[in-house]
Structure 1
């Protein structure tokens, strides 16, 4: 096992635990937007932008960017929750959820990148 894989594995473990903890604090509820996943994806966009913008050393990028943020944020859960909303005929919440996730994620990533590159 190379050191690079170890950095990614440790970051991935910690990111998954952090995502679970945040999502449990802000649970998904029927008929409402999945705020837990939205929160971790928004936080992850901001933090990953900052990590990349800060020109961090390669091992930190592997640990924090690939490992931690890769498992902290979750595209598959976003899509699963959107499908659940659709199956419950919650079209407006589904479209709102997808819209605000992507609408906020890109500017948050840019803001994080800007903050990381100017700090």
Structure 2
């Protein structure tokens, strides 16, 4: 399975952009960082972050394929990503759809604190202060 073949469950489509678009964005923006989430060498998810300033990054994409959800993979993958990107930062931000029933508790369990809505007023902005 390739990164572009991964998909979330149908009821999650409104919460996550397709990986193809994220990969295209990353090819036109050298600072965008992408990672495959792999299990036994097989891609099962995708992660992308963007430096906003030298002290702040924004997690733009994070998904685990529908066939691998609810197995702790997302929790482990997010922790590994945070461990990789945290060095030298003062804060990490992530946005998520306010109607996403899982996001607030999941990201909150890592220390993300809701700080209001994003600049477009569509998604919740949550931040970890380092």
In the superposition, the TM-score normalised over structure 1's length comes to: 0.30
More RCO (CA 8 Å, sep 6+): 1
Bigger share in helix = 1
Larger Rg: 1
Bigger share in strand = 2
In the superposition, the TM-score normalised over structure 2's length comes to: 0.29
